[in-house]
Amino acid sequence: MTKGGIVMKKFAFLLIVLAFLVAACGGSSGSTKVSEEPTKAATAVAETPTEDPPAPTALPQPTNTPEPTATFEPTAQPEDPLPDLTEALQAIVDNWFSDNRLPGGAILEVDMPNYNYTFAGSVGMANPDTGDMLLPEDQFIISSMTKTFTAVTLLNLMEQGLVNLDDSIGDYLPAELVDQLLVIDGQSYGQQITVRQLLNHTSGLGDFSNGVDGNGNGLSDFKELVLAEPDTIWDETMVLAWDIENTPPVGMPGEQYVYSDTNYQLLGMIIEATSGMELPEAYRTLIFEPLGMSHTYFEFVEPVVEGVNGRPVSNAYYNRILWNELDSHSYEWGSGGVVSTAPDLNRFLWAWANEELFADPATQTEMTTWVTTPDCGTSYGLGLLRFVFAECDIPGLGENIGNAGLFNSFFFYWPEQNATIIGTLNSNEPEFGFVGLPIEVMFTVLGFTGE
């Protein structure tokens, strides 16, 4: 069978399995064809392979930050090593843009060092009002992918002896706050919550951001407030005060997994209390600067870091409302406050995959201790998502490990191909785009590699 035939066969199968996945996970996504030709940009370059992989090295302590050695970065070559794959991957981006009538644009990066190949593509507009087309290296809001940075920062503090994962959060946070958390039948169980339970969403705390929907309109009460009062600048104290007043518990500590932004607001406070640094400084000192993530920053709480060639952050849309213009999205903080680029996220993801983020390999093992979630094939570690596709009756793909965000942003390491898949749709619609797009990429890659 030709490579093109393999791709078509895989794509036909993909349509079936995507329908199964969305049904199993309780969501749906509509798609409508449009006739407009999308504006797009794509590049594919060969990498210069190294004879041996670099030895893992731990992130430095705050007082000793060496220059980063990003040996995984591609070196451009005059020829695309897999031109047909480049065309196919760009077609995927184009189709997701047009089929879902995205209001802005989409970015996709696929890095495959085993084949000396990196794809970087985009489609649509960074800002339709200015007419700026979206480029593959443009900044975008990563929202809940921030949780992975929060977890890595805290685990580095654990290695320094500043935090114990199985300690009560009351050892690090004020009693007057902790004693207002997880109140059930008039009694607080906040002191029973551990740091680990915040990290893996088993604390029993409800989700202030996506939880209570009082009027049943499909939009959480807090999101309604964010949209209704766009000029409000939130800090973590205000967020937690709202949470305590309005968000009921979902269970006792350790009983069950329930995803909650509240957990990562509290983790941000623990990082500040134990490190002596404000949260953006801790990220920058322990992650961004050592890894050379030069176009990544924390919105609202540190100075804006310009994108490549001084370009601004690309537009993101929530229910087709321009999110960038809402000062009220300052609430995201430790649960979702970072802006980054696909190349910067690729640096981070390879550092994780090569076990370079921690001094002790056991820390990476801690991070990948999984708890089962209600969604098919999905489990959660410490700030990490894992999709095991065979558990959703999707054979042949293996697993993805990484994270995803509100605007269908995602970064995943694909162990079976030693590859990274990174991107964004810059829109919360369609639902589960952060699952479907990577799956389509994976089947397409397999059609060309024959593995």
- End-to-end CA distance of the chain: give it in Å, rounded: 14
The mean pLDDT of 334-362, rounded to a whole number, is 97
Structure-model confidence comparison of residues 218 and 290, the more confident one: 290
Per residue in 31-60, pLDDT (tens digit) is: 333 334 445 666 665 443 333 433 333 444
Average pLDDT over residues 229-252: 95
Q: Is the pLDDT of residue 27 over 70?
A: no
Lowest mean pLDDT among 11-20, 112-121, 401-410: 11-20
Q: Kindly report the average pLDDT of the chain as a whole number.
A: 86
**DSSP-assigned beta bridge partners for residue 183:** 188
pLDDT for 29 beyond 50:
no
What pLDDT does residue 41 have? 67
Mean pLDDT value of segment 8-30: 39
Can you give the C-alpha Rg of the chain in angstroms?
A: 21
Q: What are phi and psi of 123, to 5 degrees?
A: -155, 150
pLDDT in tens, 354-373: 999 999 999 999 999 999 99
What does the pLDDT read at residue 212? 78
Task: Give the pLDDT of residue 172.
Answer: 99
Interval 143-167: pLDDT, tens: 999 999 999 999 999 999 999 999 9
Of 213-227, 327-341, 434-448, least confident by mean pLDDT is 213-227
Query: Tell me, what's the pLDDT at 44?
Result: 63
**What pLDDT was estimated at residue 234?**
95
Measured CA to CA in angstroms, residue 400 lies from 120, 168, 388, 411 at distances of 19, 31, 7, 9
pTM, two decimal places:
0.85
pLDDT beyond 50 at 331: yes
Mean pLDDT of 390-414: 96
3-state DSSP call for residue 377?
coil
Q: Tell whether the model's pLDDT for residue 326 goes beyond 60.
A: yes
Average pLDDT over residues 12-30: 39
- 23 versus 231: the higher-pLDDT residue is 231
- Whether omega before 430 lies within 30 degrees of 0, making that bond cis, reads yes
Number of neighbouring beta carbons within 10 Å of residue 235: 13
Poorest-pLDDT segment among 10-14, 66-70, 167-171: 66-70
pLDDT at 5: 40
Residue 26 predicted with pLDDT over 50: no
Question: Are residues 447 and 3 in contact, defined by beta-carbon separation less than 8 angstroms?
Answer: yes
Cβ-contact 73, 351 below 8 angstroms:
no
Q: What is the pLDDT of residue 8?
A: 38
Q: What's the average model confidence in pLDDT over 22-36?
A: 36
Q: Pick the residue with more confidence: 95 or 51?
A: 95
Higher pLDDT, 79 or 402: 402
Most confident of 23-32, 56-65, 70-79, 184-193: 184-193
Please tell me the distance from the alpha carbon of residue 422 to that of residue 140, in angstroms, as a whole number.
Answer: 12
Q: What is the 3-state secondary structure (H, E, C) of 259-271?
A: CCHHHHHHHHHHH
31 or 253: whose pLDDT is higher? 253
**Burial class (CB within 10 angstroms; exposed 0-12, middle 13-18, buried 19+) of 440:** buried
Contact status, residue 413 vs residue 111, Cβ threshold 8 Å: no
Q: What is the pLDDT of residue 420?
A: 99
Q: CB-based burial of residue 82 (10 Å sphere; 0-12 exposed, 13-18 middle, 19+ buried)?
A: buried
* Paired tokens of 12: 């036909």
Q: Which pLDDT belongs to residue 378?
A: 96
**pLDDT band per the 50, 70, 90 thresholds, residue 218:** confident
For the residues 177-183, what does the mean pLDDT come to?
A: 98
Q: What is the pLDDT of residue 215?
A: 81
